[in-house]
Structure 1
């Protein structure tokens, strides 16, 4: 399944009255739940009657806390000199090329428009994300290994 197909599924489910959707194809499982307190991502192979999950993501914070974080983020981004580097796709954020390597960038580091700032892994493809702006990294908005959405801010860069 391609990332565009997953995005389209998310958009269609979001616009519908469906609260839960599950799709299984060639051992991959896509499970979408709306109005849920947690997100679970399972990667594994379906063999006979056994399924072995590989990764689970912790519950999402309370909705009120999420609203407060979003309001604080909007206040920070209102500064005209700050530019958001956003995720071009849904996937998993990685701050470094390998688990034992140093992060691509850190707070206070100068970047140019073609500087690789992170990797977003989607469907076993590792996509290098460039800053696309010259400046200094002010804040890293996501944690290593965190799931990110299309258009989600990853970094704040001061021009």
Structure 2
């Protein structure tokens, strides 16, 4: 494994360990990783090798099927206005409200957006994905903290259509 790839993997492990997530499944090319903080979790392939750290067991292996439960975190229902369209994270990664440090945020509460408006970036292992509004309306709520680890399908924004 190249030094940069190993550093990326170490960063992913550190971010997982610091997060509230209990399981993580990542597939990138031929590399596939399943991490779990549950000692009894079944790893990839059902009989995977277990490598434990002081805080979280890490299980590795290869399989074509995802784990039984994928990590998801939901925003409190009180934070999502009734009738709002929820913009969700495309996958697990780090949530960024701006294109680079010190730059203005993509969107703010009260700002009008169209379906193609970039609202944030989600990054994992140096792969940045722009998340678009997907509808026209007004930003009603920002549901994740800048720089925080977000789960796949986690609510990021609430947009009131209109």
TM-score range, shorter chain: 0.5 to 0.7
1:74 match: 77
Asked if 1 retains the 8 angstrom alpha-carbon contact of 2:80 and 2:141, the reply is: no
1:20 paired residue among 56, 63, 67: 56
Unaligned 5+ segments in structure 1 are: 25-68
1:147 match: 149
Alignment of 1:63-142 (within 5 A): 73-77=76-80, 79=82, 81-142=83-144
The alignment's TM-score, normalised by the length of structure 1, stands at: 0.59
Greater helix content = 1
Unaligned 5+ segments in structure 2 are: 1-8, 10-24, 42-54, 61-73
1:4 match: 27
CA distance, structure 2, for counterparts of residue 150 and residue 115 of structure 1: 20
CA distance, structure 1, for counterparts of residue 39 and residue 59 of structure 2: 16
The alignment's TM-score, normalised by the length of structure 2, stands at: 0.58
Which 4+ runs in 1 deviate beyond 6 A?
Answer: 5-8
- 1:32-78 Cα deviation digits (max 9, x unpaired): xxxxxxxxxxxxxxxxxxxxxxxxxxxxxxxxxxxxx95xx224436
Where relative contact order (Cα < 8 A, 6+ residues apart) is larger, the structure is 2
Superposed displacement of residue 16, structure 1: 7.2
CA RMSD of aligned residues (A): 3.1
How many residues matched? 110
